[in-house]
């Protein structure tokens, strides 16, 4: 059976600290059919110089101002030729050089799927990052009744079939954070999502969704109402329940984080 071409799209803006590690995590993959695209939003901190160093290994890249994350995602999508598309942001990294090769077999097996996804680990913001203490792994088996209330598909670990975009359209640029969740909600209960229980990607804590958890849930609520997957009153109630959980979680971190270094976390040396 013919191996699928996979397009990996990285969007960046003033990401000089970590983008080289992101790029190298893609270019050192053992899988042969990767098309790598970088969409930079006009960085001024040295990011473009790093990208230029690897330009010969890229299928496409540019550096110019855009209208935000969703617009940058769409610009990358417009350039992509692969059968499957993965969005890997500029402070994310593939955890192992064989990640794409391992996932390719699942993509072949689940050719009817709209999206095949695995686990994303939340990492500390270091050159040699470690798992964030008391932070859940992102990604678990997809269930519609749960998904319509909260996102369980981390886009950094999600391989989306090109046909899905052709069916439902591109990212809604009115969303600043939850554009990936809104995209998958469009299919409703008919979304064909397949979970693979493997750790694929590390995301450094401190990105848009981590800094703006309440804003993220506010956009989740808007996506739920827009796509009519929840009654408006239920979406409102769900929003306030989740915001309450956020503040309880912050309190737990304040109390427990001082002891985190004494606990042996999975993956920590």
What is the 3-state secondary structure of 60-93? EEEECCCCCHHHHHHHHHHHCCCCEEEECCCCEE
267 in a structural domain: no
- Tell me what pLDDT residue 125 has: 79
Question: 181 lies in a domain?
Answer: yes
Q: 217 with 242: CB under 8 angstroms?
A: yes
Q: What is the mean pLDDT of residues 141-157?
A: 93
Q: Is the dihedral of CA 234, 239, 245, 247 positive or negative?
A: negative
Residue 227 belongs to some domain of the structure: no
Report pLDDT digits (tens) over 170-180. Answer: 999 999 999 99
With respect to residue 256, please indicate whether it lies within any of the assigned structural domains: no
Cβ 25 vs Cβ 94: under 8 Å: yes
Q: What is the CATH number of the domain that holds 112?
A: 3.90.550.10
**Is 244 a domain residue?**
no
Return the pLDDT at 249.
67
The pLDDT-based confidence of 268 (bands split at 50, 70, 90) is: very low
Average pLDDT, the chain: 89
> Tens digit of pLDDT for each residue in 14-51?
999 999 999 999 999 999 999 999 999 999 999 999 99
**CA angle 127–128–133, rounded 5-degree value:** 115
Model's pTM, two decimal places? 0.88
Go through 217-234 and write b for each residue having 16 or more CB atoms within 10 A of its CB, e for each that does not.
bbbbbbbbeebebbeeee
The Cα 99–Cα 104 span in angstroms is: 9
CA distance 10 to 72: 9
> Phi and psi of 233, rounded to 5°?
-65, -35
Give the pLDDT confidence of 211-266 residue by residue, as tens digits: 478 888 899 999 999 999 999 999 999 988 888 877 776 676 667 666 655 655 55
DSSP-assigned beta bridge partners for residue 227: none
| Torsion angles phi and psi, residue 212, rounded to 5 | -125, 55
Does some domain include residue 214? Answer: no
In tens, the pLDDT along 63-107 reads: 999 999 999 999 999 999 999 999 999 989 999 999 999 999 999
Q: Are 10 and 72 in contact (CB under 8 A)?
A: no
What residues make up the domain containing 99?
A: 6-206
* pLDDT tens per residue across span 157-206: 999 999 999 999 999 999 999 999 999 999 999 999 999 999 999 988 76
Examine residue 124 and state whether it is found in any structural domain, yes or no.
Answer: yes
- Asked whether 61 and 40 are in contact (CB, 8 A), the reply is yes
- Number of separate domains in the chain: 1
Position 267 scores a pLDDT of: 47
Q: Is residue 243 one of the residues assigned to a domain?
A: no
């Amino acid at each position: 059976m013919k191996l699928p071409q996979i397009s990996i799209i990285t969007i960046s803006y003033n990401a000089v600290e970590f983008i080289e590690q992101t790029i190298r995590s893609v270019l050192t993959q053992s899988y042969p059919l990767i098309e790598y695209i970088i969409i930079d939003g006009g960085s001024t901190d040295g990011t473009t110089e790093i990208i230029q160093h690897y330009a010969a290994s890229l299928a496409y890249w540019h550096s110019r101002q855009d209208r935000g994350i969703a617009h940058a995602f769409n610009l990358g999508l417009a350039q992509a030729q692969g059968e499957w598309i993965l969005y890997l942001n500029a402070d994310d990294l593939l955890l192992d050089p064989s990640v794409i090769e391992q996932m390719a077999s699942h993509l072949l097996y689940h050719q009817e799927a709209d999206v095949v996804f695995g686990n994303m680990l939340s990492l500390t913001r270091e050159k040699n990052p470690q798992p964030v203490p008391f932070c859940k792994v992102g990604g678990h088996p997809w269930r519609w009744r749960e998904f319509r209330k909260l996102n369980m598909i981390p886009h950094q670990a999600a391989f989306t079939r090109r046909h899905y975009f052709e069916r439902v359209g591109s990212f809604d640029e009115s969303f600043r954070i939850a554009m990936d969740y809104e995209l998958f909600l469009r299919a409703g209960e008919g979304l064909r999502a397949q979970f693979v229980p493997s750790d694929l990607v590390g995301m450094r804590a401190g990105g848009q969704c981590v800094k703006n958890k309440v804003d993220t849930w506010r956009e989740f609520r808007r996506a739920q109402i827009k796509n009519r997957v929840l009654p408006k009153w239920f979406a409102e109630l769900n929003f306030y329940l989740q915001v309450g959980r956020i503040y309880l979680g912050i309190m737990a971190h304040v109390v427990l984080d001082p002891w985190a270094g004494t606990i042996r976390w999975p993956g920590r040396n």
